[in-house]
Amino acid sequence: GGNALAIYLLSSLGARLLELCQVSAGESCESLRLFLFERLFAPWAGAEAGSLCFAIAYLGLWMIPTVEMHRRRVFFRV
């Protein structure tokens, strides 16, 4: 957990941004998170498994900067 706090804060900010960004879906607007879930994960995995797949994909996305920060030996400490 060298950068656990930094990744936690960044992922929380990312989750908030996914909620704040609105996407036009036909006649209504919905959050980007809901749009991605309903269009990419729910159709082929269903609601519950799709939710799990979305969470795993979100976690996997945050593994990229985590690994890169570790590779470059960038550590944020409190």
pLDDT tens for 9-29 read 999 999 999 999 999 877 888
Q: What is the pLDDT of residues 55-66, one digit of tens each?
A: 999 999 999 999
Q: Report whether 21 contacts 31 (CB < 8 A).
A: yes
Whole-number Å distance between alpha carbons of 66 and 16: 19
Average pLDDT, the chain: 91
